[in-house]
Amino acid sequence: MSCFSCFSSHDKKVSRRGCRKEQLPISPPPRQPSATPWPPPPPEERHKERVAVETAATPAKNYSNNNQRDNNVPKEQGGKNIVAQTFTFRELATATKNFRQECLIGEGGFGRVYKGSLEKSGQVAAIKQLDRNGLQGNREFLVEVLMLSLLHHENLVNLIGYCADGDQRLLVYEYMPLGSLEDHLLDLRPKQKPLEWFTRMKIALGAAKGLEYLHDTANPPVIYRDLKSSNILLDSEFNAKLSDFGLAKIGPVGDKTHVSSRVMGTYGYCAPEYQRTGQLTVKSDVYSFGVVMLELITGRRAIDTLRPIEEQNLVTWALPKAKDPQRLAELVDPLLHSDYPARGMNQAVAVATMCLNEDPSARPLTSDVVSALSFLWQAPAKTANSGTLPADSPLSRQDVGVEGHGRKGSINNRQKAVAEAIEWGSNSRLGNAR
């Protein structure tokens, strides 16, 4: 999880390096002082933190009639509420075989992540242990428990529970068997099969749907602020779920156009206006999504200092090629071996470039990105000429009613129209820029 300021790229993963090269930041700015007080707070303050955690995981009805609280936390959607379980440290130590190295599956700025089996239910879970030496860990812990206790969507990782015994802080999530997008795109092991094109678009769609929920359904809206390939987790069927909500922030409400925040995130993914001013909007997340789209298209890291200087920053390397229709093929990951639809690739590049617009107001809405990708992720064999959608399509499960194939066909046509409009709009803007 990103918990260092000034975009330091700090994710430390268990070594799974293969064909891809290690990501390092390009001369990141010096680290700013942490906002977390030092020395650590006295025992009575730690007690307050634990009370805050317990309050975060209580049913949403406790907040519904409190106007002040309503302005600071997202409301539970649809009247549903899933109360996070509380675990003792002993229970989680047992689940992870006393946090043995063999159970370690990841490591980041927050701490270490272990795979464990919960004794009472037998459920396999991912257990994240806070690094007690991390100056910002408690703050992120509180934010994540609060956010994931109130926000529930199929494209957000599910929080099972937490532990706040003494000075121990742990989070318990559903286990995602395929790990992160980074594991399959940027950290390929020898002989590991690269992601196919339509699988990449499926993952992009899932991540976009998670953002759409945070931006359009959560009330007030939530700015994720840490979208990157290592925070997109995958289930056994490559369905994507957003994880690590420690940097999430409540978005602007009422007549406010933005929220101000100390600049935090991961170098290479943050929107330029946020870097310059510290002003956050949901369009800041849209920019980060554009970077992830470029990673999916190119198979390159957002920042890679092991490449030649002119290729180290993915956005600055890719955008000139995206402006030239004759050079679009240069963007595609060579591991795809030209096995991709040319038109679909063009439209995916168009979505990415629109998301990466320097002007936040010119970036597309997350809902429009979802509409475009809902069409782009489907292989031609699935769409055929009948206008129907595959049975496992997100549209067939969620957006399509019971009105017959005509309804399905009109939805499919809308996806095409949105994708083509985004492609046309991107090419038009790029042409004017030249």
**187 in catalytic set:** no
327/330 Cα distance (integer angstroms):
5
Q: What is the 3-state secondary structure (H, E, C) of 313-366?
A: EHHHHHHHHHCCHHHHHHHCCHHHCCCCCHHHHHHHHHHHHHHCCCCHHHCCCH
Q: Report in angstroms the alpha-carbon separations of 222 from 20, 36, 143, 286.
A: 33, 22, 12, 13
Return the bridge partners of 148, or none. Answer: none
Say how far apart CA 109 and CA 144 lie, in whole Å.
14
Which residue out of 183, 187, 226, 244 is catalytically annotated?
226
Check residue 6 and give left, alpha or beta (phi > 0: left; psi -120 to 50: alpha): left
Task: Count helices and strands (H / E) in the chain.
Answer: 15, 12
- Of 386, 378, 355, residue with least CA distance to 288: 355
Q: Is 128 annotated as a binding residue?
A: yes
> What residues form the annotated binding site?
128
> What residues form the annotated binding site for ATP?
128
The residues assigned a catalytic role are: 226
